[in-house]
A = this chain, B = another copy of it.
């Protein structure tokens, strides 16, 4: 059994990790920490875990964590980096669900996250945990930077096109829509039901922290310089993310459907829909799945890719478990076979 620790389990990625790990056959939940909720039973905060998770939150405690085989950080940005060196030193593997190790360029990270990095020397070692690109590196990684939700949905959508070199990498547009759980379990007025309900808006159009992360990932596969416009929106639902991706085709003729089907043929968690389909976010609610459809409206020069995930699962906790499975040599799908909840 893999002994698992979770740091900062009071947010939505934390409770989703607990939901997935509590029924994972290869895992023993050993410790979960929270300064604010120290001593509180996990199931008091999250009633869905009553009778399923008997842990209580404890003060962050290095010794307890060093006793684990793997530690998940479900903390705000800037927290994991302060503890990771010691854990790695102690032989503990780490999966960070926040952004501390996602950007390889130190300056980029410090600019977008507005603080100095606590362990820049470890950045280079971190593996970006998108298994559909970095599966082998993840298998042998000590430290995995779990991707953001937008970056997961956007990269999986553009990937086949950029790898095949059939689009102009300077023409990328990602119009992304997220449910409010993506903003976290935080006491903020903007995400109240009375504010965000029955409402739709864009946000951070001048610049969102997921832009450099997506740019870095896609640049690595693009043939030439890449340009991306990224516009995130808040949509009045709890879970779910839909990205609508646009790019200009650079070759006169290409079988887009075949391209996508072949690229993801052996991927357990990426599902390409038949031609002329429209994936729905609810179709992957609670499941570790990215579902894609590719269109070429009016047979024009623009390709449109529709990509949906559950932002808390394939966009966060589910992908983290997928990475853990890879890091510990388990079948990649272990504990991730739950069926989406519909309706």
Contact = CB atoms under 8 A, between A and B. Distances in A.
Q: Give the interface centre of A185, A186, A192, A227 by most chain B CB atoms within 10 Å.
A: A192
A343 interface: yes
A191 interface: yes
Interface in A229-253: 229-231, 233, 235-240, 242, 244, 246
Closest 6 CB pairs of A and B: A47-B283, A48-B340, A48-B342, A199-B282, A187-B187, A175-B175
Given A173-B302, A187-B187, A198-B239, A229 B205 contact: no
Given A229-B304, A343-B195, A271 B51 contact: yes
A33 to B, nearest CB: 19
Given A194-B181, A291-B47, A306-B205, A280 B199 contact: yes
B205 A295 contact: yes
A286 to B, nearest CB: 5
A94 B295 CA distance: 39
Interface string A160-187: 0000000000000101010111010111
A189 interface: yes
Contacts of A306: 201-202, 205
Nearest to A195: B343
Contacts of A293: 205
Contact of A285 (B233, B246, B341, B342): B341
Interface stretch (A15-23, A81-89, A126-134, A319-327): A15-23
B49 A202 contact: no
A202 B283 CA distance: 13
Given A282-B199, A283-B50, A242 B233 contact: yes
Contacts of A285: 48, 198, 341
A276 B200 contact: no
Contacts of A52: 339
A206 interface: yes
Q: Give the interface centre of A173, A198, A233 by most chain B CB atoms within 10 Å.
A: A198
A242 B200 CA distance: 7
Interface string A236-279: 11111010101000000000000000000000000100001011
A113 B236 CA distance: 32
A39 interface: no
Given A48-B285, A200-B281, A201-B242, A343 B12 contact: yes
A2 interface: no
B22 A339 contact: yes
A325 to B, nearest CB: 18
Nearest to A190: B187
Contact of A207 (B50, B286, B297, B340): B297
A281 B199 CA distance: 5
A298 interface: yes
A48 to B, nearest CB: 4
A177 B176 CA distance: 11
A180 B192 contact: yes
